[in-house]
Structure 1
Amino acid sequence: MADKRFYHIGFGQNDLGSSPPTIALLSGDPERSHLIAQTYLQDVRVLSENRGLNSYVGYLPNGRSILSATSGMGAPSLSIVVNELVQVGIRQIIRIGTCGSIQPYIQVGSVVISSAALCRQGAAYDIAPVEYPAAADPFLTVALVKAARELKIEHYIGITASVDTFYEGQERTDSANPNLMRSLHGITEEYRRLNILNYEMECGTLFKMAGVYKFAAAAICGVVAGRTIGENIILEQRNIAVKNAIATAVNAVAEIE
């Protein structure tokens, strides 16, 4: 089993070296995975650049071995990658993503740390029933909050709405399909009244997988859109938001026992 290379991630347990990582920083964007590896890790090795699911292994300055991996966009792709990461020995996963805030007090450029997710995702239904909780690991979550405080990064902790589509599922009408189904009209306001903080597309399934597969998961997302103002991503603040999310996650991992 140890010499098996997995079809999607493109590497196996034996490729992780003599000090294999048990924690992964998981990004949807392969460029973000590369950025994390090149900026924060030492003695970096490319494990795979298969299917755009780029993975790198390296070390933090404290000697901790870390995997920087790519999930791709959306829960179906993430579910494949996470399944294979667990098979090579990963036991803690922190998703580093982007999101749109749906509360007026959450500013673009800040970060949202998800304590749990309202999971409206088809992939998750194949993992566990709809009633199964999608909750983040409390210890990883506290580590993220502590790191954000120490770095003086504006951060919010609460419930995230994880949905399958970027446009319709997040009630965007400025797209190729301005005609939303009736069930989606007003859904953002409904979520706002339920004290949900943000929209994103992966962590609900990740959290359910963590419960079923018995690993620890957390999620932090840089806020790149303020949905109480408009539908579009604020490109000027995107890099700040992503940098803040990465820095928080890396500092949290450095302090985890």
Structure 2
Amino acid sequence: MPIKASEFIQNSDGSVYHLNLLPEHLADTVITVGDPDRVARVTRHFDKIEFKVSKREFHTQTGIYKGKRISVISTGIGPDNIDIVINELDALVNIDFKTRELKEKTKSLDIIRIGTTGSIQEEIPVDSFLISESAIGFDGLLHFYESEHIQNLEFTEAFIKHLNWFKKKASPYVVDGSKSLINRLESSNIHKGVTGTNIGFYGPQGRILRLALQDNEMNDKLSSFSFENKKITNLEMETSAIYGLSKLMGHHAISMNAIIANRPAGTFSKNPKKTVEDLIAYTLESLIK
């Protein structure tokens, strides 16, 4: 049965609504970045760029890197944007754009986030890299989907108890990253950890400018929490949504983090662009191994 036009929205050229892409524009390996300007910083390493399109904050370039076809897409910031991007990426490979029906055989994408983050563990210094083995979301997005079967509910329960989680905040959720992508992208020089995904940059990440926080000790509680020897290592704004939606849809996802701030030490990278550039180069080379 065809999906209604109000639910699966296509542009006049048949492309998917927000990303403005047709299925042939998308590679099986997708790199996501938050900043639209970072798309070109990734694809400048490519041997060839075969397609470009931009709509709002969603910029896409698809090309070839050392024989591997890769798409690079900017998501903008936040879990709400991730909801758009992952759903539309999935539609590009698992919905027939002519009949508007689900395909009988589903396809999996490799989705790799390359982004910046702040460490909440003092031993993880600025300008280092971190792979998110798991992510804990404070945004509530995944609870709009039938998703408890992919969540680590014991981790979540222990976390809520440790932080004395304020009941008016969205309930946290924990999802693991792709083990196959972790194995491909890990190295002895890269930290691993549990990434906290926030719904905002200031108050939700414990920053105080002019507004008081509901819990002044939140970041201290976050950094002291441990479950089965796993600690929350860093904070950003996309990873848990990427992991949750990707796992629900059968895609493989991993988040590669450039540490540009250390919150306990109060330090910030002196050259964050170089740190991100180094992470881009490392990730691209790891993907062709």
TM-score (norm 1): 0.86
For 1:68, what is the secondary structure of its paired residue?
Answer: strand
- How far apart, in 2, do the equivalents of 1:86 and 1:249 lie? 22
Indicate conservation of the 8 Å contact 1:110/1:244, yes or no: no
Cα distance, 1:235 vs structure 2: 5.1
For 2:175, what is the secondary structure of its paired residue?
Answer: coil
Cα shift readout 1:86-142 (whole Å, capped 9, x = no counterpart): 222361100010000011111111111100011111322223357464110011012
* 1:225 and 2:261 aligned: yes
- How far apart, in 1, do the equivalents of 2:210 and 2:174 lie? 34
Counterpart AA for 1:139: S
Cα shift readout 1:43-64 (whole Å, capped 9, x = no counterpart): 2134311102110000011x11
Cα shift readout 1:215-236 (whole Å, capped 9, x = no counterpart): 0000011011110122x7x352
Which one has a larger percent helix, Structure 1 or Structure 2?
1
**Larger radius of gyration between Structure 1 and Structure 2:** 2
2:202 matched residue in structure 1: 167
Indicate conservation of the 8 Å contact 1:96/1:219, yes or no: yes
Q: How does 1:163-202 map to 2 (within 5 A)?
A: 163-173=198-208, 175-177=209-211, 179-181=212-214, 184-194=215-225, 195-202=231-238
| Percent of pairs with identical residues | 24
* 1:96 and 2:131 aligned: no
For 2:176, what is the secondary structure of its paired residue?
Answer: coil
* 1:26 and 2:32 aligned: yes
* 1:45 and 2:50 aligned: yes
1:125 matched residue in structure 2: 143
2:20 matched residue in structure 1: 10
Q: How many residue pairs get matched?
A: 237
Indicate conservation of the 8 Å contact 2:142/2:241, yes or no: yes
Indicate conservation of the 8 Å contact 2:121/2:234, yes or no: yes
Indicate conservation of the 8 Å contact 2:116/2:260, yes or no: yes
- How far apart, in 2, do the equivalents of 1:29 and 1:74 lie? 11
Cα distance, 1:185 vs structure 2: 1.9
For 1:134, what is the secondary structure of its paired residue?
Answer: strand
Q: Provide the aligned C-alpha RMSD in A.
A: 2.0
- How far apart, in 1, do the equivalents of 2:41 and 2:51 lie? 12
Indicate conservation of the 8 Å contact 1:34/1:54, yes or no: no
- How far apart, in 2, do the equivalents of 1:136 and 1:244 lie? 22
